[in-house]
Amino acid sequence: MKKTTRILLGHGSGGRLTHNFIKQVLLEKLKNPILGELADSAVINYKEQVAFTTDSFVVSPLFFPGGDIGKLSVSGTVNDLVMLGAVPEYLSLALIVEEGLEQKILERIICSVAIQAKNSRVQIVTGDTKVVERLAADKLFINTSGLGRLISSRRLSLKGISPGDKIIITGNIAEHGLSILAKRKELGLNFNIKSDCASLNGLIIPLLRITKAIKFMRDPTRGGIATTLNEISEGSGLGIILEEKDIPISPKVRAASELLGIDPLYVANEGKALLVVEPKEAQRIVAVLRKNPLGRNAKIIGTVKKTPRGRVVLRTAFNTERILDMLTSDPLPRIC
Amino acid sequence: MKKTTRILLGHGSGGRLTHNFIKQVLLEKLKNPILGELADSAVINYKEQVAFTTDSFVVSPLFFPGGDIGKLSVSGTVNDLVMLGAVPEYLSLALIVEEGLEQKILERIICSVAIQAKNSRVQIVTGDTKVVERLAADKLFINTSGLGRLISSRRLSLKGISPGDKIIITGNIAEHGLSILAKRKELGLNFNIKSDCASLNGLIIPLLRITKAIKFMRDPTRGGIATTLNEISEGSGLGIILEEKDIPISPKVRAASELLGIDPLYVANEGKALLVVEPKEAQRIVAVLRKNPLGRNAKIIGTVKKTPRGRVVLRTAFNTERILDMLTSDPLPRIC
């Protein structure tokens, strides 16, 4: 029988085991010249405006249909940079590992980080590994921080939003959250829903290069599109009317949401963006998005209005209206 | 009786509770214009070479003599930048909080982050908060990533080290690790040892501006000076002779180490640096360091030699020699 190699506290000691782990697992899978220097910081030569972001990932389970914590850790931070109009370039990778985690699980996740970094054209240039004793963490948490150059000196900002602007979603909603929920064994469900987890630079960056009509972007992760649209309305001091009938959602996700009694407007996405755009270019932007597989279900789903100030209104399929608030409690903890 | 406010899973939901927490606790205590934008990434305008680093902090207990996890999270990342010869400027702050942690404990730690950031002249410009359910993490983990501008185009590197170079430590060793150990209640010890936890930019950056004789620096955290010196000897392919009698150590730390049977050469420091310097300037550098309270016990403790290649040799007070290896297991987990 093959022995299972487990992570020991010594892997986080900073000593020999840490060194071997870094060399044999991390450097091997993530190799690039900057990381290879193994210095305390990566040094990057910049001449432009730089976006800087951080995100920790605590998703449970570690593996889910459509992805895993490694893929998510890269795409989540890549997307945060893209939302600012920055081309993602450099990521850090910090692991907090529970003692006793099987090393092959960790290696599988690092492979996934490496693949997603390659596909997203970013380099992991600095890192950190900590190991905590059994039960002091749940298997693995990952933090990635990221740097990217802004492609334009014109900043995307909530302040640029005006009444009449259109709201676009780049595709079907609620897939990430529902894939996690379905995967959690205690529910015994099998909806066969895949997470939408994806890096959005390939979809969004080319678009930013061909139009100046995009005023603001945000990825609707925790709290779903309802929460993100509330952030946009609060931050801009304007109202948003959301058309329920126009919100793209797959039949599977709709059925699963109804069965579980969950409102998909509040469920996390990990490969979607909300765009606020000038009305005259909205249709063209949707058409461009749809040419990319990651944007093939893009739709205009709402309009910015003067009132109600700072609120989001959902116009339902039955033509009634109701205020859509932010998520107030967490029906789905550890979704990302 | 006053009600204790506790962190709930909803604080990490991305919804209303997250927003209120960010506004009322994080923005309030860490305020600066870049963070105030609450965008997905911070945008920083750089024109020079940039160092980028990341570190997670999982120290237990959260509070210890001389500091807490908040102070450590700032100074640890500040020091990683300083060791590359960069002026620390911008930090991210990512919290992983266990559901049920008292909010006032978290606020005390955020205050400590704010104070240490101010004292270290860095700004917290982006952040993230995740909450995991009870027992999925131990109270609080913090990741900080950092950016700093290199003060010189001349890179500090292991490759620049030559035989004859002197090794300087900026002060007494092993204080951080022993303060943590003593604080852990199960030991019932009271050595009254304070952690040396400190940001080193005020000590090191001015020194880098007045001398070109510093070839390499690293802060001897996990694994202590023995492990860091091994990294230096391995990375440079040269030998290091360490003079035991010259290593500065307080009588308290020496006594506690002996009592506990721990070798202080392997115990973590959080406010010290090891410098590899040209021999002719070594005395002057020590003299400059000693003018600063954080460097008042600075000493030359060793010399780089051609052989033994990649090894560290300790010449003991009795004039015997032994090979000093890296730390191989972790006698003190969760020291930082």
Handedness of CA B98, B102, B103, B109 (dihedral sign): negative
Most A CBs within 10 Å: which of B6, B145, B274, B324, as the mutation test of the A interface? B145
Is residue B293 less than 8 Å (CB to CB) from chain A? no
Nearest Cα of chain B lies from the Cα of A336 at a distance, in angstroms, of: 9
How far is residue A248 CA from its own chain's centroid? 18
3-state secondary structure of B146: strand
Closest in B44, B93, B96 to A58, CB measured: B96
- Residues A95 and B210: their CA atoms lie apart, in Å, by 37
Quote the pLDDT of residue A185.
Answer: 55
Task: Kindly state the average pLDDT of the residues B286-295.
Answer: 98
Task: Supply the DSSP symbol for A22.
Answer: I
Is residue B53 less than 8 Å (CB to CB) from chain A? yes
Nearest Cα of chain A lies from the Cα of B21 at a distance, in angstroms, of: 12
- Residues A117 and A115: their CA atoms lie apart, in Å, by 5
Is residue B36 less than 8 Å (CB to CB) from chain A? no
Nearest Cα to A325, choosing from A228, A217, A220, A216? A228
In percent, the amount of chain B with pLDDT more than 90 equals 68
Residues of chain A by 3-state class (helix, strand, coil), percent to 5: 35, 25, 35
Is residue A81 less than 8 Å (CB to CB) from chain B? yes
Enumerate residues 173 to 212 of chain A having a beta carbon within 8 A of any beta carbon in chain B: none
Confidence class for position A177, pLDDT limits 50, 70, 90: very high
Is residue A59 less than 8 Å (CB to CB) from chain B? no
- By the 10 Å C-beta count (0-12 exposed, 13-18 middle, 19+ buried), A153 is classed as exposed
DSSP labels, B262-301 = --GGGS--SS--EEEE-GGGHHHHHHHHHTSGGGTT-EEE
Is residue A127 less than 8 Å (CB to CB) from chain B? yes
A vs B, Cβ pairs < 8 A, gives 288
Whole-complex ipTM: 0.93
Contacting residues of A for B131, CB less than 8 Å apart: 330, 333
Residue B184 pLDDT greater than 90, yes or no: no
Task: Kindly state the average pLDDT of the residues A28-42.
Answer: 77
Task: Kindly state the average pLDDT of the residues B257-282.
Answer: 95
The partner residues of A123 in beta bridges, in order of sequence, read A90
Enumerate residues 2 to 21 of chain B having a beta carbon within 8 A of any beta carbon in chain A: 8-10, 12-19
Domains and CATH numbers, chain B: 9-150 (3.30.1330.10), 158-323 (3.90.650.10)
Is residue B302 less than 8 Å (CB to CB) from chain A? no
Residue type at position A159: K
Confidence class for position B291, pLDDT limits 50, 70, 90: very high
Contacting residues of B for A38, CB less than 8 Å apart: 235
B35-91 pLDDT, tens digit per residue, is: 777 777 777 777 788 899 999 999 999 999 999 999 999 999 999 999 999 999 999
Residue A188 pLDDT greater than 70, yes or no: no
With 0.90 as the threshold, say if the pTM is over it: yes
Closest in A41, A46, A51 to B53, CB measured: A41
Nearest Cα of chain B lies from the Cα of A319 at a distance, in angstroms, of: 26
Contacting residues of B for A92, CB less than 8 Å apart: 52-54, 145
